[in-house]
Structure 1
Amino acid sequence: MIFEKLRTNRFNQWIIIHLRYLVGFAFLPSGLVKLMGERFTRISTDHPIGYFFEALYQSGFYWNFLGLTQVAAGILLMTQRFALLGALMFMAILSNIWVITISLSFTGTWMITSLMMIAVLALIIWDKHKLMPLFSYNQSSSVKAFPDPDKSWVMTGMIYIFSFVTLYLLGPVGENIYMKGISAALGILMVGTFVITGYKAYKNPDLFLKNQV
């Protein structure tokens, strides 16, 4: 079966794991801005795009709620274990953003959101076997169970989330040597984590096959 061959291929698994990280990262900056109650853009309200975002910003708690859902979807994706739930949440939110970027004629942005839609669809299709029972109402069905990623990928996601959120909360470091040191350390931590996990996965294929999470 083609899907099973694709699903058990080690390189494909590595791609999907890191695609989850990448897509999850995509929602964290904009989500944190909204969650912290800050404006997402400084475009003049004379422009339809600026007017739209200013109206959302002035909605108050709804603006924070949008940020919370984006951050939650990003974190769920990066946990690996709850990646399907994160992908479904991401799809629901991104569908609205995609239509908005097209209807308000965002220059070039609709291309980015379209690529993100393709990426999220790929993530949902990857875990489609988990959704199959929903479409087998009152019918007996046999679903192929594929192992989840090893728990080390979960820890990797947590490191990425902690580092990114901390960097965001630190804000511009300016000339503060102490803050520069923290930012550099967090950057090194993320890069080092990526290199180490990649090397371990290359040496130990079981990191993709164990169902430990």
Structure 2
Amino acid sequence: MKKIIPQLISVFLGFTFWGAGMVKLYAGHRFIGWIGPPWLVERLAEYELGLFAEFIAICQITIGFMLLTTRFKLIGSIMLLPMILNILMVTVSQNWAGTPYVLAILLLMNLYLLWQYRDYFQPLIDETFPINSLRTKSERTWIGHGIWLTGLIINLLSIPVSHSQLYLAFSLVGIGLLLSLLAFRLDRYYLS
């Protein structure tokens, strides 16, 4: 039970931010997403900030994908912290009703994830490496990392495809997610 809760939180946060980024960039905003205004890119383009909004969406996709697939949940949760804080500051400064509370809950969930990995931060603070680690090293391979990265790239490539072939784009998303999840199996195969 102790390990399943961080996994579920990681998947939930990952789905939340991955979907929020995808819905901003997909044709007609036809993607699954429950937070974030899907019209953000168009609205910021009026102020010549469209490229910035696309960058934010791609960051949301990448960070969300790290958490959703749980392969890089520590890096993803570290990267998610400033993203949530920035979004929170925008919503507070714009006086959005309700959204800051939702973001505060997401922030607490992310802080819980970071707390689960607190012993990894000691070397960053001390600038030394621990002699004995309390954690067991999870075995991962470069082949698994490559397959995971291929899945992320396929997800990103589905965005321009969505503007001409929506169902093909959805298929690419599914293939990308499946590849990224299969990376764990490849690790086990090559390490056994």
Other-structure match for 2:135: 145
Write out per-residue CA displacement over residues 157-180 of structure 1, whole angstroms, 9 at most, x where no aligned residue: x99xx89x97xx779xxxxxxx6x
Instruction: Give the conservation status (yes or no) of the 8 Å contact 1:133–1:141.
Output: no
2:109 corresponds, among 93, 107, 119, to 119
- Normalising by structure 1, report the TM-score: 0.57
Secondary structure of 1:143 counterpart: coil
Alignment of 1:4-43 (within 5 A): 11-36=1-26, 40-41=37-38
Secondary structure of 2:3 counterpart: helix
Q: Computing the radius of gyration over CA atoms, which structure comes out larger, 1 or 2?
A: 1
Tell me by how many angstroms 1:140 deviates: 5.9
1:54 corresponds, among 43, 66, 69, to 43
Instruction: Give the conservation status (yes or no) of the 8 Å contact 1:28–1:71.
Output: yes
Secondary structure of 2:2 counterpart: helix
Other-structure match for 2:79: 89
Q: Distance in 2 between matches of 1:84 and 1:138?
A: 19
Other-structure match for 1:75: 65
Q: Distance in 2 between matches of 1:37 and 1:89?
A: 27
Say yes or no: does 1:130 pair with 2:111: no
Alignment of 1:159-178 (within 5 A): none
Structure 1's unaligned 5+ residue stretches are 1-10, 43-49, 172-178, 191-211
Structure 2's unaligned 5+ residue stretches are 30-36, 179-190
The alignment of Structure 1 onto Structure 2 pairs a total of residues equal to: 161
Q: Distance in 1 between matches of 2:140 and 2:121?
A: 21
Instruction: Give the conservation status (yes or no) of the 8 Å contact 1:37–1:64.
Output: no
- Normalising by structure 2, report the TM-score: 0.62
Identity within the alignment, %: 20
Q: CA RMSD in A?
A: 4.4
